[in-house]
Amino acid sequence: MRAALWLITLFALAAAGAWLAGNNQGTVTLFLFPHRIDLSLNLAVLAVLLVVLLVILAQRALGAFLALPKRAQRWRLQQKERASHAALLDSMGHLMAGRYLRARKAAEQTLAKEALLQASGVTLDHALSLRTLAHIMAAEASHALQDKTQRQQHLDQALAQVQASSGAERQSLLEGTQLRAARWSLDDRDATASLARLSALPPAVGRRMAAMRLQLKAARLAGQPAKALETASLLAKHRAFSSEAAESLVTRLILDLLAQTHDPEALQRVWKRLTPSQRLMPSVAAEAALRCLQLGGSAATARLWLQDLWIPMQANPPVWSDAQLLRVVQAFDACLPGVEAEDAFVWLSRVESAQQSQPRAAHLQYLAGMLCLRQRLWGKAQSLLAQAAKNLQAPVLQRKAWIALAELAEQRQDPVQAAAAWKQAASVSPD
């Protein structure tokens, strides 16, 4: 449409010009003593236009000729700038390809070319960013080459360049440099230095995925399971891991934290800090209960911590692995109430109901038999333990069942049955 309008306009101008020129009878007379020159008005106008056009062309040609040195200088500076950028890209490419020595040399070439530009009196708008990134690339390559001296020198120079910048550029470069330095310290197994650099970052930066991953690794390396657990929980909340990996990682950290407690009060504080979902983890609750008993804590407290696991432990088919089920059964066995316990009758009815609902479940037979033994119900304890000893798959529980049967036989003064039970206990292969 636009081309059609231009064409119509040109046709209109051509028609108007032809009409005006064809009907124009005017003349122009030039008196150049002693001559007189008569020209038609159309020719005079055309001559004036040609003269103006020639003047404009001559002026532009002269301007272009005089601008040649500046253009040549600008072209040379552009070539130097492009060369510095190309050297930085080469450094990144060599670093990704594992050619660390070449990467460091390319980064140093970037710095040298930028210094030549600055010596020529040209200051790039992004000169600070260019120098900082070049120093970071050189430090990264030096880190890969285990050259800590060169790495520290380039890191210090990168931080000096960052301090000289301003605005959002400075903040971004500073955060990136600190994160890189924290990762290098972590690779050097210096968890304290890594945590110090991470703690110096603003809170908003510390909540970023990259920073939290570094903090998790540094906290685990520094032996700070509480800090590592907090970070791992945040990462799991942001779906940084798969659900299985997150559960396994959180479980290991909680177990490490439980292992570092040395008194029941500290263990209570750790348990209260756990979330409801973490308290329902079978490995966590079982280890917490066993640790409580190991530190001289109350068996009633241990049973309270295990109470929520009683229903899922009876699931058929089981929802836990064999190792988890074994550990939970061991924890229940260690804290079963005696005759004097206030909740003895509650647990006795609870265990008997569960065992009667699943009469072939070996672990429920074992727990019911051990509880009856604690409650001095000798006959029922012998019957349940005899069944459990034949059906249990875990050697550690099977051995304890045979030992309990041997002690019951000795209590009944039945040496034959006692000897047979002791023999069975000794024949159970270790796990």
- Res 317 pLDDT > 90: no
Which of the listed residues 130, 147, 165 is the one where a domain comes to its end? 165
pLDDT digits (tens, 9 = 90+) for 382-404: 888 888 888 888 888 889 988 88
pLDDT over 90, % of the chain: 13
pLDDT digits (tens, 9 = 90+) for 270-302: 899 888 888 889 889 999 999 998 988 888 888
pLDDT digits (tens, 9 = 90+) for 322-376: 888 889 889 988 888 887 878 888 888 888 888 888 888 888 888 888 888 888 8
What pLDDT sits at residue 105?
93
Question: Which residues, in sequence order, are CB contacts of 252 under 8 Å at separation 6+?
Answer: none
In CATH, what number is assigned to the domain containing residue 423?
1.25.40.10
What pLDDT sits at residue 241?
81
What pLDDT sits at residue 431?
56
Which of the listed residues 165, 183, 198 is the one where a domain comes to its end? 165
pLDDT digits (tens, 9 = 90+) for 149-161: 999 999 999 888 8
Assess if residue 113 is contained within a domain: yes
Assess if residue 198 is contained within a domain: no
Residue 248 CB neighbour total at 10 angstroms:
13
Assess if residue 253 is contained within a domain: no
Domain that holds residue 156: 79-165
Assess if residue 398 is contained within a domain: yes
Sign, CA torsion 272/276/277/281: positive
- Res 130 pLDDT > 60: yes
Q: How many domains does the chain have?
A: 2
Q: Comparing C-alpha atoms, which of 265, 175, 159 is closest to residue 214?
A: 175
When the pLDDT of each residue in the chain is averaged and rounded to a whole number, the result is 85
What pLDDT sits at residue 106?
93
The structure tokens listed for 242 are 């798969």
What pLDDT sits at residue 79?
81
Q: What's the average model confidence in pLDDT over 93-119?
A: 89
User: What's the CA gap between 248 and 312, in Å, rounded?
Assistant: 19
Confirm if 257 and 285 have CB atoms less than 8 A apart. Answer: no
Assess if residue 231 is contained within a domain: no
Assess if residue 223 is contained within a domain: no
Assess if residue 271 is contained within a domain: no
Which of the listed residues 165, 195, 225 is the one where a domain comes to its end? 165
pLDDT digits (tens, 9 = 90+) for 8-38: 888 887 777 676 666 767 777 778 778 887 7
- Res 427 pLDDT > 70: yes
Assess if residue 53 is contained within a domain: no
